């Protein structure tokens, strides 16, 4: 019949709008929730980077390729997620997902592989 604490499941007495038995339970509960949100953001980014890497690898078997953007985007590629970038002598910026890079070229991507000299 009575309500129980959100954190420890103890019966709550008194005010019916209470959600926690103590302020300790309240802060523990919010701490845990925050942590879960951080974890899920981390996992989301992690998953997208790995997906991007897989797609770039798949389309760049030769080490250099030019591919229409839709082809990658259709597979789930998201250009907002990358691990680092490299600028070439012409100041063109390649974005990388680990060892596979891409550069925006109007409706296409130029794909390259990471090379030692880029470091
Ligand atoms: Zn409690």
Distance 23 CA to ligand 1 centre (A): 8
Asked if residue 88 lies in contact with residue 96, where contact means CB atoms within 8 angstroms, the answer is no
Sheet holding 64-68, edge to edge: 64-68, 108-113, 100-105, 93-97, 84-87
User: Is the pLDDT score of 42 beyond 80?
Assistant: yes
Task: Report d(CA 60, CA 67) in Å as an integer.
Answer: 9
Beta bridge partners of 95: 85, 102
Distance 11 CA to ligand 1 centre (A): 8
- Tell me the percentage of the chain whose pLDDT exceeds 70: 97
| Residue among 33, 9, 37 nearest 22 (CA) | 9
Asked if residue 103 lies in contact with residue 93, where contact means CB atoms within 8 angstroms, the answer is yes
Render pLDDT for 13-29 as a digit per residue (tens, 0 to 9): 876 788 999 999 999 99
User: Is the pLDDT score of 1 beyond 70?
Assistant: no
Distance 13 CA to ligand 1 centre (A): 11
Beta bridge partners of 113: 100
Distance 41 CA to ligand 1 centre (A): 27
Q: Give the pLDDT band of residue 119 (cuts 50, 70, 90).
A: confident
Q: Break the chain into its structural domains and give their ranges.
A: 1-36, 41-118
- Which two structure tokens, joined as six digits, stand for 55? 């797609």
pTM of the predicted model as reported, rounded to 2 decimal places = 0.77
Task: Compute the average pLDDT of residues 34-62.
Answer: 95
Render pLDDT for 83-117 as a digit per residue (tens, 0 to 9): 999 999 999 999 999 999 999 999 999 999 999 99
Task: Compute the average pLDDT of residues 31-44.
Answer: 94
Distance 20 CA to ligand 1 centre (A): 5
């Amino acid at each position: 019949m009575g309500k129980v604490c959100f954190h420890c499941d103890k019966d709550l007495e008194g005010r019916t709008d209470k959600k926690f038995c103590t302020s300790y339970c309240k802060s523990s509960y919010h701490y845990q929730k925050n942590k879960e949100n951080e974890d899920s953001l981390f996992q989301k980014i992690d998953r997208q980077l790995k997906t991007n890497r897989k797609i770039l690898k798949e389309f760049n078997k030769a080490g250099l390729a030019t591919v229409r953007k839709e082809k990658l985007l259709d597979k789930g590629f998201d250009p907002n997620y990358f691990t680092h970038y490299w600028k070439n002598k012409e100041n063109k910026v390649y974005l990388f997902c680990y060892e596979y890079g891409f550069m925006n070229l109007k409706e296409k991507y130029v794909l390259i592989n990471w090379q030692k000299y880029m470091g």
